[in-house]
Amino acid sequence: MSPSMSERLRQRLGAYLVKPRRVFVTPGGDEFAAWCREKPGSAVELVVSARALHELVVEPGLPLADLDAVQAYAQQQFAHYFGASAQRFAIAAWQQGSACGASALHGLDLAALSAQARSARVRLAAIRPAWAVWLASLPSATRAASGHALWHEGEIAVVITLDRGRVVGLQPRRVKQLAEFGAGSALAIGTPDSDLAPQPGPALPQPDFLPRSGRSALAWPLGATGALVLAAAAWSAADSHRALGLAEAAHGRALAVRTPTAVAPRRGAPAVVAENRSASEARALLDMPWEAVLTRVETAGADAKPMAWLGLDASAGRGELRLEGLTPDRGLALELAERLGATPGWSQVLLSRFSAAEAGLAGQRFEISARVRSGGGA
């Protein structure tokens, strides 16, 4: 039995508001498929088995200025070694000071994972190699050391070479080949059963197979404000459904005793119309492309630093959005409005208010209004 509209709304809200849980996935992704069946409306960080990955550490000295350059170089290298099949690999690049590299996802289909998540209203917070998640869970002193660390999965392992905290080598090996690396004196050994909670310490590579344009430090506040909008709609929809049912039942009883010549105005009709409007608004909110809209707002805001979002309000029936934020400069707010106005599906984007912030808030408060068509926010 398919979930009701209110249940789907609750699941979408839950995906934005709950803390992501880690799910270890092996080639094929059966673990994630089971998670989606059992826990719709949740949020996950997928921890990818070494058996579903190829690894590359870039030789020192290459002029790769940023992650885009690292990713382009990695795509060339993986295509050289693995041929045409490498065109299907999702690649997650990383940089750590002068060290850089990339992981290639060959045992899992990123598009299929995303489709499963959407169908189950599960939020994919990150998709990371298991070795990187495990390294981030090590004590600070271990992470800053030099030597070999070992991520171990059954008959295979990943030998991670650290040079004063920098990852300078990633070599998948059969367990029986580990003696050549002196695995007995490894700095640390991890397995899928390890505690993978991140620990404070030196920064380490954090490759992520999700598109970088879809991630932002602003995701939590914007997700929360958008979720609050949807929550109000969910409650309104539930109330509308109950009120409409009662009104229709009462109307049916009235029709049973009404004579053809005694057609009186339908009592309660204005209330039913109002409730119908609330239900329509709730359905429109449910159908809005929230992932695309929030992602576009997040990335536009991230490009307009320094600024901070305060809230989001929506009237989905009219396709209207209202965004509130703080910025030190009116020019940044205007630039942000222009950037959003250039987004396909967005129109009438205006900086509708700009004023001094309230006591306790730094900067100037601004408000941007816009109209967004269904499907806008790409």
Among 71-85, 201-215, 257-271, which stretch is predicted with the lowest mean pLDDT?
Answer: 257-271
> How does DSSP assign 194-222, residue by residue?
S-----SSS------SS-GGG--TTHHHH
Residue 36 pLDDT greater than 50, yes or no: yes
pLDDT tens-digit series, residues 151-178:
999 999 999 999 999 999 999 998 877 7
Full-prediction pTM beyond 0.85?
no
Angstrom distance (rounded) from CA 64 to CA 48: 26
Angstrom distance (rounded) from CA 378 to CA 347: 13
Q: How does strand 147-153 pair with strand 189-190? A: parallel
Q: How does strand 43-48 pair with strand 123-129? A: parallel
Average pLDDT over residues 248-253: 48
pLDDT of residue 296: 75
pLDDT tens-digit series, residues 351-361:
988 888 766 56
For the chain, percent of residues with pLDDT exceeding 70: 68
Choose between 291 and 19: higher pLDDT: 19
Among 16-25, 162-171, 309-318, which stretch is predicted with the lowest mean pLDDT?
Answer: 309-318
Angle at 97 between CA 93 and CA 101, to 5 degrees: 25
Question: Which residue has 């949020």 as its token pair?
Answer: 43
Choose between 332 and 81: higher pLDDT: 81
Query: Which residues are CB-contacts of 290 (< 8 A; sequence separation ≥ 6)?
Result: 12, 226, 230
pLDDT of residue 218: 45
Choose between 140 and 308: higher pLDDT: 140
pLDDT of residue 217: 43
pLDDT band at 294 (very low <50, low <70, confident <90, very high): confident
Which two structure tokens, joined as six digits, stand for 232?
């109000």
> How does DSSP assign 83-118, residue by residue?
GGGGGG-EEEEEEETTEEEEEEE-SS-HHHHHHHHH
Average pLDDT over residues 203-228: 64
pLDDT of residue 161: 94
Nearest by Cα to 369 from 333, 328, 327, 332? 333
Residue type, 177: Q
